[in-house]
Structure 1
Amino acid sequence: MRHGRGETLDQTARRAGISPQYLSEIERGVKEPSSEMIAAVTGALDITLVDLVGAVADRLGTVRETVRDTLGQATCRAAFALAA
């Protein structure tokens, strides 16, 4: 979402009150943010938690279709279990 808005890590991180390095780690899946950090980032992006969850669901749906096309239904369920 940050990329879609044309924002830099610095801009979004500053508004969220976190370091750009930490935001980068969240985006890359290196860090698992607390609920407070998620709230700070969604606030900085001026989106709701519902917007964020919807975007994640859309992305997982895309991953699901790719996995299904490539590896079949059973592997798709395993990928969703790992994502959860």
Structure 2
Amino acid sequence: MSTHAPNEARVIPLRRQPSPPARPADGAARAPQRPAGTPTEPAPREPLWRDLVGGVLRRERLAQERTLKDVAEAARISMPYLSELERGRKEASSEVLAAAARALGLGLGDLLSLAQDDLARYARSRTPRSGRTGLGRTSPTAQYDGLCLVA
């Protein structure tokens, strides 16, 4: 008797596999039907606020041709932490964001406004040209293009 395991890998699907369509009694093949309300392909992930703010911090730093070390020292935060902020890996407090913005010559409002502009640009790219969403409501970006901060 051999103790060797079979040379086959067992594949465990991450998503439930659809069952094969039932054949009609008359044997005729029918086109597969998608359940109502099922999207044809997954929608792209909406950006998180930390990703938007981090992108603005990195863009501004690179536009000024400054190093992570230089900006981190000016903001009095660690260089690895600033790097994680820029990559959207950490949620920063308002004090840290304000310090990073000041180190780049921006105010906190400027930083948040630039991030809001990126979010509005993303939202506009996902809504139909008429400014209406698929649910019959007008998209918020079609009504105004302002900054709203919630404490």
Q: Which structure 2 segments of 5+ residues have no match?
A: 1-59, 140-151
Give the counterpart letter for 1:73 in structure 2.
Answer: T
1:20 maps onto 2:20 in alignment: no
Query: In the alignment, what sits opposite 2:133?
Result: 73
Name the structure where helix makes up a greater proportion of residues.
1
Task: Give SS of 1:3's match.
Answer: helix
Give the equivalent residue in structure 1 for 2:13.
Answer: none
Whose radius of gyration is greater, 1 or 2? 2
How many residues matched?
73
In structure 2, give the amino acid aligned to 1:29: G
Please report the RMSD computed on the Cα atoms of aligned residues, expressed in angstroms.
1.9
Q: Hey, what does 1:82 align to over in structure 2?
A: none
2:122 matches 1:59: no
1:65 is displaced (CA, Å) by 2.4
1:41 is the counterpart of 2:100: yes
TM-score for both structures, normalised by structure 1: 0.73
Distance 2:91 2:77 in 1: 14
- 2:36 aligned with 1:10, yes or no? no
Distance in 2, Cα, partners of 1:67 & 1:10: 37
